[in-house]
Structure 1
Amino acid sequence: MPHHPPIAIDRTGADIHAELAALRRRGPVSRIELPGSVPAWSVTGYDAALRVLGDPRFSKDPRKHWPAFRNGEIGADFPLIGWVLMDNLTTAHGSDHSRLRRLTAKAFTPRRVEAMRPVIEQAATELLDELAAVAPGESVDLKKRFAHPLPARVISDLFGVPPEERTELLRGGEVNVDTTTSPEDAAANVERWHQQMHEFVERKRRAPGDDLTSDLIAAQEADGSRLSPSELVGTLHLMLATGTEPVMNLIGNAVHALLTHPEQYEQVRKGDADWDDVIEETLRAEAPVAHLPFRFATEDVEVGGVTIRQGDPVLVAFAAVGRDPAVHGASADRFELSREDKTHLSFGHGIYRCIGMPLARAELAIALPALFQRFPDIELAVPPDRIRPQSTFIMNGLESLPVRLGPVGGRPVGGRPMGGRG
């Protein structure tokens, strides 16, 4: 394999798919340079990603397995320092990861998710009622008015975050994925976010409720060795952020894909494609997480024809993995609801599969048909080339999604009412 100089990742995320396609042309695993001139590897191939995600020789713990961090080469000025300092499933390895996963997975059992369906439906209905008051020809930002508040409300209800605290507690996660943030602001965000979450936990400790934060605190108090104070705060950081941002992106990306592919929206309207097709093809072609840090080789490992040295940081490019031509052929970059094979890894793989996947799928299965049932003639309010991406290379979403809703409908689109399983 020819030797290539590393590609310096564009921290603005101006064109994630073009950047990842350039990396893939170099092979399924290629060298990159992160902001702060930190060398790393990017995994863009499907088979290579399966290998990295499933191989125990790749750790998520920088404290144990990133020598550059342990010896001080990676300091507080590293632009992605927030992803290193977290103390939760994102940075846990081995038995620590298993322990934290067992505790947090209780939040997303089939029974718990099924119990959340009325909450999701109520949130969707209330947000759509508010949108119905908008004049049919008026432009409205669907990300701000629907795609973000729906998952934010659902995950906040699940963890007992009162409405008056939600903006602040969720803001820390939003800043953490913005890779244009200065190192100073990133470090200040981590400190502020941790302090706010500690204060929230203490209020819950004094006045517990019927919510998952209170459950985690009770588990901690029953056996202090199960969840340290730092892990409790870190877990809440993770649950609130990942319960909001990826679902927001999936809703926005799915709506954008249908509105920029009217012939495929027509397939849904006629019932030739269903909402499962929309959800899975969006997950494949427009994964909500683009380039996720970090994993670290615990020894030299050969993957995709290259040797990743012990201690090297690795990022899995989920937005590229679903578009791998080796799996999806020459049309891999195209959004096609009729595609039979919609294989993707957008929720991860194996022991690192996203534990919130059942809740995310439930939210999408309710939100998308509800939106298009209420507003069947929805359309973009600006030309597609004026819709900008988020200012990040970690997430794959839209800065805003201006639409004109059109007249209120009421008939199911694709023959399935809100809450339908299709």
Structure 2
Amino acid sequence: MDGNLSQSATPSHPPVADNQKCHSYQQTQFSNTLNKPAHSLPGLITKLTMVLSVKLSLSFLVLAPLLALASSKSKDRSYINKNAIDRCWRNDPHWASARKDLAWCSIGYAGKMKKLAGSGVKYYEVTDSSDDPEKPKEGTLRYGATTIPGKVWITFKSDMTIKLKIPIFISNLTAIDGRGATVHIAGGSGLVVDKGSNVIIHGLHIHDIQSTSSGKVMMPAGRVVSISRQDLDAISIKTSTKVWVDHNTLYRGKDGLVDVTHGSRRVTVSNNLFKEHDKVMLLGHDDSFVQDKEMRVTVAYNHFGPDCRQRMPRIRHGRVHVANNYHDGWYEYAIGGGANPTIMSEGNLYIATDRPDHKKVAWRESGHNWHVKSVGDVFANGAVFSLQATDENTKPPYGQKQRFDVGSGNDVPEITKDAGALSCSTSKLC
């Protein structure tokens, strides 16, 4: 589509063949063939060939459904239904023609991303992996994420690696959807949602984020501004609301992999794979930034590890629900906090490393209070959650569109089995 906008229509699907009519027709042909006289050897050979052909066709009609059933059983996908997000869309083989239905599948504090599921969504396809921060070309990711007004759903024409010279500042009402392609944002800058709302980041590989230079950059609504050197996070969410980060693979960066700061609210971070990193996730800017008291973040269905050291997440101020995550070892701690946050750790799996000094799940900054409670968590290899409060105020105050069933901690390996960017074909189940 070369970076052009389009409205997506759901394709019509061919009617299912009527096997019974097909079977009846072939039987008639079979009888007619037997009743025809054969006056020569070539005629007899022709007749026998037709008989064998019909028999093989009938056999295929019988065997094909059995073979399909056997194939489906060999690819057992029942575990998907234990994940409230994935069961919402991954059982639809036609997901690619209904991409924006994904917006109804978010859970937790982000709520449903209904503004991106309604009418008026413009579809934009990335066809060019290059990057010009000041004058982005049509067809590039930066062009789609910053210059197009209204609701925008961004997809990718093919596999690509994008090296960003300066972070992309994503516009409101934008979904970046990597399903159907393998998309790496690597070796340069990351993504920023600053004073934004209604943003989805899904299905990307973001890694090896490096330091960036100052310069001019296209901001949302097509404004060009000069900026100084930016944070080195893979994904940075600042002073924003209703942001959903789902099914991404993030690793190796100079700073954080996902940071939610400066008074951001209604954020869900789910189904991501975090690995090979030190300070993974920071929720809350610093102890003195009291605006983060209104922060609300859900961290669910993620896989942390291997080789994650700390901040899974670290929380300052605000209220955070950490649910059904797989913590595969840590060095400093898994969950940390300060500045009086409220944390519910529910139904997670915590597996400590073999080192005796790496067993404590939780760390609280000295001189700070917090309200934290572990409910239904599973601890393995000596892991221990020793810093708990007993008050009931840790339960997240979800509304109807935010609630989800938290699974058993014992089911976390299945719930998080497909954490990270998925490998999807647009013509079949993802």
Q: Structure 2-normalised TM-score?
A: 0.22
Larger Rg: 2
Relative contact order, higher structure (CA 8 A, sep 6+)? 1
Structure with the larger strand share: 2
Q: Structure 1-normalised TM-score?
A: 0.22
